[in-house]
Amino acid sequence: MTEETFFSEQPIIGVSACLLGHNVRYDGGHKRDSFIAEILGREMEFLPVCPEAAIGLGVPRPMIHLVGDPRQPRLVGVQDPTMDVTRRMEAYAADQARQLNGISGYILKKNSPSCGMERVKVYAAESGGHCVRKGTGAFARVLMAQRPLLPVEEEGRLNDAVLRENFVNRVYVYQRWHNLHAAGLTPARLIAFHTDHKYLVMAHSQAAYQRLGRLLSNLSKSDLDKITHSYIHELMPALKRRVTRKRHVNVLQHIMGYLKKRIGSDDKRELSANIEAYRRGETPLVVPITLFRHYFRIHPDEYMSRQIYLQPHPDSLGLRNGI
Ligand code: SF4
């Protein structure tokens, strides 16, 4: 399959609007993130959302913060603690979680009492003082609770090359999942989806891949909905796991098995040397992957041509140059 057919449709992702350069912060400024706006922006369609502006707090606006129990804090004004916008924010987030049904991911602004995904400051008292970094922004908390399968990340964590690649991969998997439903789910299509993602899932967890395979082993039309539900609830968390070099090497060696009888001994040596150089951290993942794609172009293999692992996202993003 060519890059054009693989990624013909851009995934839609929600983004905290200040990260895209919108002047929506409490002080009227923004926190534009160039990786998101310029690199991801080439391949994804953004849906900018500023929850604080959307619930009518205005720009500029008084600062707000989280107060109380870190598991269920209130969102109140810093200067005026009687200004409690918790319910308004939760209602807005619940509404957005329902409305943004077609999105394939979400990027949130770190540390924000509304948008922060984790480690947001929660103050013990309205007056400030002691705080713990154990909170989740009021908007983010409801969004993630209502859409547990949605790939979500913070812009700060996206500075980590492995987390960055992981998030983008999950966005494209989730987009394919939407497309699978739009095309009409059948047992055959679900099995094909699973087959296409075999090596991608294996890189994250061999055990998860086996559990997913067992789920599909006796698939019939009558239990399709139940199994589909279990399948995606197993798949998306499994894809969150960090993939180490060792795991990638394991997958690359499996894939090499498909070329054994098709390429000569010099080519095999070159391929092995590239995998070893990757294992030692001397080259990024893109090097052995590019070589594999080259060999599969010369020696086409229907099964391998469908493997998402060899091209989980558009090459233009360059994400495998950094891992
Ligand atoms: S962090 Fe969220 S609420 Fe704050 S300015 Fe950015 S988009 Fe708006």
| pLDDT category of residue 191 using cuts at 50, 70 and 90 | very high
Read off the pLDDT of each residue in 185-193 and give the average, rounded to a whole number: 95
In ligand 1, the atom with minimum distance to the C-alpha of 51 is 3
pLDDT of residue 8: 80
201 vs 251: CA distance, rounded Å: 10
pLDDT of residue 221: 73
In ligand 1, the atom with minimum distance to the C-alpha of 48 is 7
Res. 1: pLDDT tops 70: no
pLDDT of residue 127: 75
Say if CB 112 and CB 16 are below 8 A apart.
Answer: yes
Q: Give the tokens for residue 226.
A: 């139940």
Ligand 1 site-directed mutation target among 31, 59, 114, most atoms within 8 Å of CB: 114
pLDDT tens-digit series, residues 107-164: 999 999 999 999 999 999 877 789 999 999 999 999 999 999 999 999 999 999 999 9
CA 239 – ligand 1 centroid, Å: 27
141 vs 75: CA distance, rounded Å: 12
In ligand 1, the atom with minimum distance to the C-alpha of 115 is 2
147 vs 163: CA distance, rounded Å: 20
Q: Give the tokens for residue 308.
A: 């998402």
The set of protein residues with a Cβ atom below 6 angstroms from ligand 1 is 16-18, 24-25, 50-53, 109, 112, 114-115
CA dihedral 262, 189, 224, 143 (to 10 degrees): 100
Nearest CA, atom 4, ligand 1: 25
Res. 3: pLDDT tops 70: no
CA 18 – ligand 1 centroid, Å: 6
Read off the pLDDT of each residue in 283-304 and give the average, rounded to a whole number: 96
CA distances to 186, 217, 290 from 190, in Å: 6, 11, 28
Nearest CA, atom 6, ligand 1: 18
**Backbone torsion region of residue 130, taken as left when φ is above 0, otherwise alpha when ψ lies between -120 and 50, otherwise beta:** beta
pLDDT tens-digit series, residues 239-284: 999 999 999 999 999 999 999 999 999 999 999 999 999 999 999 9
Query: What string of H, E and C letters represents the secondary structure of the chain?
Result: CCHHHHCCCCCEEEEEHHHHCCCCCCCCCCCCCHHHHHHHHHHCEEEEECHHHHCCCCCCCCCEEEECCCCCCEEEECCCCCCECHHHHHHHHHHHHHHCCCCCEEEECCCCCCCCCCCEEEEEECCEEEEEEEECCHHHHHHHHHCCCCCEEECCHHHCHHHHHHHHHHHHHHHHHHHHHHHCCCHHHHHHHHHHCHHHHHHHCHHHHHHHHHHHCCCCHHHHHHHHHHHHHHHHHHHHCCCCHHHHHHHHHHHHCCCCCCCCHHHHHHHHHHHHHHHCCCCCCHHHHHHHHHHHHHCCCHHHHCCHHHCCCCHHHCHHHCC
Q: What is the pTM of this model?
A: 0.96
With pLDDT > 90 as the criterion, what percentage of the chain qualifies? 94
CA 66 – ligand 1 centroid, Å: 14
